[in-house]
Amino acid sequence: MAGALSFSLVAGEASGDLLAGLLLGGMRQKWPDMQSSGIGGLLMEAQGFEPWWPYEKLAVRGYVEVLRHYREIVGIRRQLRDRLLANPPSAFIGVDAPDFNLDLERDLKGAGIPAVHFVCPSIWAWRADRVEKIRQSVDHVLCIFPFEEALLAQHGIAATYVGHPLAQTIPDEVDRTAARTALGLPQDATVVALLPGSRSSEIEYLARRFLQAAQRMAQRQPGLHFVLPAMPVLRARIDEILKEVGPVPNLLLLNGQSHAALAACDVTLIASGTATLEAALFKRPMVIAYNMNWLSWQIMQRKKLQPWVGLPNILSQDFVVPELLQDAASPDAMAYEVLQWLDHPAAMSDVQQRFAALHDSLRRDTPALAAHAIEKVLAR
């Protein structure tokens, strides 16, 4: 039977491609001859995955932004659903992207195809009303945070805590010297990583602000170096914005390589999202910033259950790093908060210790645990 197993996966953005690539590695250890296909990216392809659509088709954030792409996204989901119903896989695995995946999983589960969701939707942070939809849509949830398994069990949803894959792949101590050598950065420089996001909508709303913040930092503290990892498909747009903004001293633009940037930097200015947890696992002090369409922001505010939006703060249940959201995410405010970290090394050391404890709590053999949980779903 092992040789006949086939899996369909959907990852909807860069972070999902990363998580799914790690998951597929663990699954291939258990089922060397398995086949996998669906929607994904290069990291999934490296594990033998066949992409029918690139994940960039789904990488849209915010209610209003999604509306602009609604027809195309719904069309892709319909085509994928029909294709899977006509040729059912052994199981479907939706990787995050709940707005896309839950409806698809519900249809597939209703047709008898086992549906697994990897990364519990953040019902503990916002949109608690999603619980019933999760129960209807999936057979099993693979949770990346320790408290989620018991929370889902309270609602009758089968789940397994598998740890966060990045906690296993990112080492406890990252070699900053090697990272700077690889990127050609001076070893004695103070380096700020600028991570305005991996979606086109994030680049439109954040890149200009981040670059302007870097200009202000450079004015106040000459000699700073900046590194900005850009998704290759968004590089041209970032170049255009940079021309509009004007030169940023000592700015290094990278094609991808966000982990190299985090490894090399002293502090990061970063968009809210999965990348903030990656920065915490790299033990990097950060300033979290976000700005989006005004209407999308109003809708999200009404559905929010906690005072924090950044994952390091949510997991710590405390404002361990600053959050500058919507109108507060001004270039001046962002520059000020980043320089505050650099001016207070004791605070940097303290947050690094907190991030080390967080890293330890999330470390499990995620690929193996996830593959084992999927095996049990198949057995049922």
Q: Where are the domains of the chain?
A: 2-163+364-379, 176-362
Q: 2-163+364-379 and 176-362 share one CATH topology?
A: yes
Match 């940097």 to its residue by tokens: 348
What is the pLDDT, as a whole number, of residue 2? Answer: 44
pLDDT tens column, 164-176: 988 988 999 999 9
pLDDT tens column, 64-84: 455 566 788 899 999 999 999
Percent of the chain surpassing pLDDT 70: 91
Question: Three-class SS of residue 346?
Answer: helix
- Cβ-Cβ contacts under 8 Å for 80 (sequence gap 6 or more): 8, 10, 38, 39, 52, 53, 104
Match 């549906």 to its residue by tokens: 115
The helix (H) or strand (E) run that includes residue 275 is helix 274-281
Superfamily name and number for 176-362: Glycogen Phosphorylase B; (3.40.50.2000)
pLDDT tens column, 332-362: 999 999 999 999 999 999 999 999 999 999 9
More reliable by pLDDT, 214 or 148: 214
Mean pLDDT calculated for residue range 278-283: 96
Residue 377 Cα distances to 26, 102, 294, 318, angstroms:
16, 17, 42, 36
More reliable by pLDDT, 127 or 142: 142
Is the separation of the CB atoms in 213 and 338 below 8 Å? yes
Mean pLDDT calculated for residue range 293-321: 73
pLDDT tens column, 202-222: 898 899 999 999 999 999 999
Is the separation of the CB atoms in 284 and 276 below 8 Å? no
CA 151 – CA 148 distance, rounded (Å): 5
User: Of 239, 335, 328, whose CA–CA distance to 290 is shortest?
Assistant: 328
What is the pLDDT, as a whole number, of residue 296? Answer: 65
What is the pLDDT, as a whole number, of residue 1? Answer: 40
Please tell me the pTM assigned to this model: 0.74
pLDDT tens column, 81-101: 999 999 999 999 999 899 899
Could you give the strand order of the β-sheet that contains 225-230, starting from the edge strand earlier in sequence? 251-255, 225-230, 191-195, 267-271, 286-290, 323-325
122 confidence band (pLDDT: 50, 70, 90): confident
- In degrees and rounded to multiples of 5, residue 162 shows phi and psi of -115, 5
Mean pLDDT calculated for residue range 152-160: 93
Residue type, 265: C
Q: Which CATH architecture best describes the domain 2-163+364-379?
A: 3-Layer(aba) Sandwich (3.40)
